């Protein structure tokens, strides 16, 4: 498999900092042990392995665990169709890693969104400001410790001044260890 060969070349270049490639459902993932090297690893993946497109950067909140966050970089090589996923962890105490904006210009919006929603900073990003929430908003809405009902704001005329009611909304579920059907709001309120 071509992607596996490319992932092995990445492993050969960075040694123990890159995990053995893992294949799941036809997709290849490697894990970077030191988030401080993400820009260097991504630079090599683009320049030497041909991953010329950053499809996405996403973040996972592993609330209650250390390290708290996992960042996932989805890369694509348009010449041969290879796709590679690189994961790395960031601790809550640090909450920062280098930007990959110098490797792919598309990282700009991805990194700004992760900063805005999770509070993870990207060192070296030239314009790291909120992209969805307003400047000065003190919270990070996609963190697992952010309440589903929201938080009140003291910024009149910018957003709601009271907590927005969430009960009965089409996307609101209740915390449960049960199945997804039992958490579905329309099942709880069949008259809606």
Contacts of 100 (CB under 8 A, 6+ apart): 38, 39, 42, 43, 54, 57, 73, 107, 111
Terminal-to-terminal C-alpha distance of the chain: 50
pLDDT of residue 84: 97
Length of the chain: 192
pLDDT of residue 135: 81
**Per residue in 62-118, pLDDT tens?**
999 999 999 999 999 999 999 999 999 999 998 999 999 999 999 999 999 999 999
pLDDT of residue 145: 87
Structural domains of the chain, ranges and CATH numbers in brackets? 2-140 (3.30.460.80), 147-192 (no CATH)
Q: How far apart are CA 104 and CA 90, in angstroms?
A: 21
CB 148, CB 172: distance < 8 Å? yes
pLDDT of residue 74: 98
Q: How far apart are CA 55 and CA 60, in angstroms?
A: 17
Task: Give pLDDT < 70 ranges for the chain.
Answer: 1, 149-178, 180-192
**Closest of 95, 94, 87, 139 to residue 116, by C-alpha:** 139
pLDDT of residue 173: 57
């Amino acid at each position: 498999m071509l992607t596996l060969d490319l992932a092995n070349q990445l492993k050969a270049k960075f040694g123990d900092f890159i995990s053995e490639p893992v294949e799941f459902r036809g997709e290849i993932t490697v894990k970077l042990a030191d988030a401080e090297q993400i820009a260097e690893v991504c630079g090599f993946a683009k320049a030497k392995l041909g991953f010329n497109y950053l499809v996405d950067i996403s973040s996972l909140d592993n609330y209650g665990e250390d390290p708290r966050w996992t960042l996932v970089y989805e890369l694509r090589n348009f010449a041969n169709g290879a796709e590679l996923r690189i994961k790395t962890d960031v601790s809550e105490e640090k909450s920062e890693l280098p930007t990959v904006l110098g490797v792919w210009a598309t990282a700009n919006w991805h990194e700004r969104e992760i900063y805005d929603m999770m509070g993870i900073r990207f060192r070296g990003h030239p314009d790291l400001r909120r992209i969805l929430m307003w400047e000065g908003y003190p919270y990070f809405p996609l963190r697992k410790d952010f309440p589903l009902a929201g938080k009140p704001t003291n910024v009149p005329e910018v957003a709601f001044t009271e907590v927005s009611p969430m009960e009965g909304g089409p996307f609101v579920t209740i915390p449960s260890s049960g199945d997804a059907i039992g958490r579905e709001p329309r099942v709880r309120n069949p008259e809606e």
